[in-house]
Amino acid sequence: MRNEKAARVFLAMCEPARLQILQKLAKSKGCVQEIGKSVGRNQPNVSQHLRVLKDAGLVKTKREGKRVCYSLADERVKMLIGIAEAIG
Amino acid sequence: MRNEKAARVFLAMCEPARLQILQKLAKSKGCVQEIGKSVGRNQPNVSQHLRVLKDAGLVKTKREGKRVCYSLADERVKMLIGIAEAIG
DNA sequence: TATTTGTATGCGCATATATGCATATGAGAA
DNA sequence: TTCTCATATGCATATATGCGCATACAAATA
């Protein structure tokens, strides 16, 4: 169902922690550690949130040696955040 | 915090039931009963969801005699749904 | 006032979600 | 291989959420 998929996108973005991560990635991509420092959360926590974001198709990954670089999967993610901020 | 408000918008939209209600309202406004019939849910349930949507600034209300007419508070709500569907 | 209709709220339960911790997996270096 | 570093996963627990039901509130009418 189309509804379900859209809901999953919003579900991924409804958590302040994940929204914070997305906003960080909107500025610059980075690995799990860096993201963790940026948003003030521990590594497993960030990793779990990133998984949710990835499953929802909001971020993509790229291995770089030992690290995994995360970045926004779609420019439209920025649009969603921008509109939500404008409404709220 | 700006983040919090945006998160509340997404939190309101992440529930399939509420998304369904928003989509119904995108087509035509209506009172609680009508919305309930449209989405196949009972009155208290719809009423609770509408409250969440209203608190998030996604719908507005207008008393019409005994009834309360709900409609989208902002055209941008449609945009959010459209983008989320496109990403998901 | 009492009654009817429409809407909102409070409560209890079942389920879902986030979090921290410990630990497993993956990748490169010695 | 063994040793780190970086990331992912499993588990237990606390919190949050949605749901149905009963009921309270609001508005119009008799």
pLDDT digits (tens, 9 = 90+) for A48-80: 999 999 999 999 999 999 999 999 999 999 999
Return the CATH number of B2-87, one of 3.40.50.12780, 1.10.150.20, 1.10.10.10, 3.20.20.60: 1.10.10.10
Q: Nearest-CA residue of chain B relative to A56?
A: B88
Q: How many beta-carbon contacts under 8 Å exist across A and B?
A: 96
Q: What is the pLDDT along chain B (88 residues), one digit of tens a residue?
A: 567 889 999 999 999 999 999 999 999 999 999 999 999 999 999 999 999 999 999 999 999 999 999 999 999 999 999 999 999 8
Pull the structure tokens for residue A83.
């509109």
pLDDT recorded at residue B78: 97
pLDDT recorded at residue B32: 98
Query: Which residue ranges make up each domain of chain A?
Result: 2-87
**B7, B76, B88 ranked by CB distance to A15: nearest:** B7
Inter-chain touch A83–B85, beta carbons under 8 Å: no
- All residues of chain B having their beta carbon less than 8 Å from the beta carbon of residue A6 are 19, 81, 84-85, 88
d(CA B5, CA A3): 23
**For the whole model, what pTM was predicted?**
0.93
Q: Identify the CA nearest to B20 among candidates A4, A16, A12.
A: A4
Q: Identify the CA nearest to B11 among candidates A86, A16, A46.
A: A16
**B8, B14, B81 ranked by CB distance to A88: nearest:** B8
pLDDT at A3 over 80: no
